[in-house]
């Protein structure tokens, strides 16, 4: 399989509006609607308290696309209700599932389990369309460059997220907390037999990339209602302690936004300064704080990964500067020896594009590295 050609093929089939059959792999892509209910009032309260960015005058709680949206599932064909599932979580500032389509197809075909592509709050299709329209966002990027001296890595692709984070970095945590509630709701619906695709008490594992790995680590550490006590987690290009991540990139965050984000969470957030009273200081906050820097809640974090080392695996890439191997070791502690494997693909790659679909790299080399990565993921999940 040529990854580039397969990506184009799957992109033509992928839709939020209709189901599609992938005849040669005997899979279907099925869209489902989601309306958040769990934690909705709390989410609404803290979103109201966040200041609005200049380009988006409405508060976050009034962005309807984030409250009700479509997610898709790659599933083996047939009418029987499935008893196992994998939830796939994406990276920061993602607007399209394109690069993940071959990932989901491979995991579903290899494991025989449905793979749920679930969007993090205010990502993918959970934002107004103009946030992802270059004609709309280019003027915002120009204005931001005029307002901030020596602004690096500011582009039409990251200006929406950069502006919103700069306006108040707490938005990062708010969206993460909202995403945890959404995942809890999804898992609750599945395990209760309320989802048309799944049987009651379905077992659910996670495949998490980049910032999706941080979300998954918080989810497993916090373990709301003990829903994730048996969940397996496979992390790819993710799992770093927050303080050692580097999201300063043209397609993630500009320099000013990323530096504000890091400073806020390593200082104000840990001391609970400038945090609205509607934000609960609870087990979710504790789990996130444990992932901010190595010397905070160290025993709580490292002892968890030591206990859970049989159900967590991670693959890092040697030249990944966004989620470096050293940062993942800092997060996992001693358990990293059992959990983590560092790879170095024999072609030019980056964190954002681990399997290039353009350029002059031999497609066979890309396929071999892809097969190694997802072979290990499928065998574990």
Residue 133 is encoded by which pair of tokens?
Answer: 């329209």
What are the CA-CA distances from residue 272 to residues 47, 62, 276, 282, 379 (Å)? 17, 26, 9, 12, 42
What is the distance between the alpha carbons of residues 372 and 352, in angstroms, rounded to a whole number? Answer: 18
Q: pLDDT (tens digit, 0 to 9) for every residue of the chain, 381 residues total? A: 799 999 999 999 999 999 999 989 899 999 999 999 999 999 999 899 899 888 888 899 999 999 999 999 999 987 789 999 999 999 999 999 999 999 999 999 999 999 999 999 999 999 999 898 889 899 888 888 988 888 899 898 999 999 999 999 999 999 999 999 999 999 999 999 999 999 999 999 999 999 999 999 999 999 999 999 999 999 999 999 999 999 999 999 999 999 999 999 999 999 988 777 777 789 999 999 999 999 999 999 999 999 999 999 999 999 999 999 999 999 999 999 999 999 999 999 999 999 998 878 899 999 999 999 999 999 999
What are the CA-CA distances from residue 299 to residues 241, 290, 302, 312, 335 (Å)? 14, 9, 5, 18, 12
Which residues, other chains included, contact 365 with Cβ-Cβ below 8 Å and sequence gap of 6+? Answer: 345, 346, 347
pLDDT of residue 184: 97
**Contact in structure between 127 and 63 (CB atoms under 8 Å):** yes
The strands making up 312-317's β-sheet, listed across from edge to edge, are 20-22, 27-35, 68-76, 115-117, 82-89, 198-209, 233-236, 312-317, 340-343
pLDDT of residue 319: 97
pLDDT of residue 49: 87
pLDDT of residue 86: 98
Burial code of 260-280, b = ≥16 C-beta within 10 A, e = fewer? bbbebbeeebeeeeebeeebe
What is the distance between the alpha carbons of residues 5 and 19, in angstroms, rounded to a whole number? Answer: 21
pLDDT of residue 357: 86
- The secondary structure of the chain, three-state, reads CCHHHHHHHHHHHCCCCCCEEECCCCEEEEEEEEECCCCHHHHHHHHHCCCCCCCCCCCHHHCHHHHEEEEEEEEECCCCCEEEEEEEECCCCCCCCHHHHHHHHHHHHHHCCCEEECCCCCCCCCCCHHHHCHHHHHHHHHHHHHHCCCCCCCCCCCHHHHHHHHHCCHHHHHHHHHHHHHHHHHHHHHHCCCCCCEEEEEEEEEEEECHHHHHHHHHHHHCHHHCCCCCCEEEECCCCCHHHCCCECCCCECHHHHHHHHHHHHCCCCCCCCCCCCCCCCHHHHHHHCCCCCCCCHHHHHHHHHHCHHHEEEEEECCCCCCCHHHHHHHHHHHHHHHEEEECCCCCCCCCCCCCCCCCCCHHHHHHHHHHHHHHHHHHC
pLDDT of residue 56: 83
What is the distance between the alpha carbons of residues 225 and 229, in angstroms, rounded to a whole number? Answer: 9
**DSSP-assigned beta bridge partners for residue 34:** 69
């Amino acid at each position: 399989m040529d990854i580039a050609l397969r990506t184009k093929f799957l992109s033509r089939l992928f839709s939020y509006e209709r189901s599609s059959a992938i005849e040669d792999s005997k899979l279907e892509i099925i869209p489902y609607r989601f309306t958040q209910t769990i934690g909705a009032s709390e989410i609404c309260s803290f979103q109201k308290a966040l200041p609005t960015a200049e380009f988006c005058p409405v508060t976050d709680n009034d962005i309807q696309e984030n409250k009700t949206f479509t997610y898709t599932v790659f599933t083996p064909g047939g009418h029987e209700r499935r008893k196992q599932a994998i939830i796939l979580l994406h990276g920061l500032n993602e607007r399209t599932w394109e690069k993940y389509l071959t990932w989901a197809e491979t995991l579903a075909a290899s494991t025989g389990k449905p793979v749920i592509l679930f969007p993090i709050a205010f990502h993918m299709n959970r934002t107004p369309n103009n946030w992802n329209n270059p004609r709309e966002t280019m003027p915002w990027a120009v204005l931001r460059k005029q307002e901030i001296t020596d602004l690096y890595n500011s582009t039409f692709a990251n200006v929406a997220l950069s502006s919103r984070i700069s306006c108040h970095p707490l938005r990062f945590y708010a969206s993460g907390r909202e995403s945890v509630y959404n995942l809890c709701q999804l898992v609750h619906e599945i395990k209760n037999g309320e989802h048309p695709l799944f049987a009651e008490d379905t077992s659910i594992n996670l495949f998490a990339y980049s910032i999706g790995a941080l979300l998954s680590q918080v989810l497993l550490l916090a373990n709301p209602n003990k829903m994730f006590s048996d969940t397996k987690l496979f992390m790819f290009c993710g799992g770093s302690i927050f303080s050692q991540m580097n999201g300063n990139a043209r397609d993630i965050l500009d320099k000013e936004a990323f530096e504000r984000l890091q400073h806020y969470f390593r200082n104000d957030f840990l001391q609970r300064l400038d945090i609205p009273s509607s934000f609960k200081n609870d087990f979710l906050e504790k789990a996130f704080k444990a992932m901010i820097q190595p010397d905070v809640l160290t025993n709580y974090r490292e002892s968890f990964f030591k206990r859970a080392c049989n159900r967590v695996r991670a693959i890092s890439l040697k030249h990944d500067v966004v989620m470096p191997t050293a940062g993942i070791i800092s997060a996992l502690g001693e358990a990293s020896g059992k959990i983590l494997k560092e790879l170095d693909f024999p072609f030019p790659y980056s964190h954002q594009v681990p399997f290039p679909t353009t350029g002059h790299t031999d497609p066979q080399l890309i396929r071999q590295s892809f097969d190694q990565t997802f072979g290990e993921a499928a065998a574990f999940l």
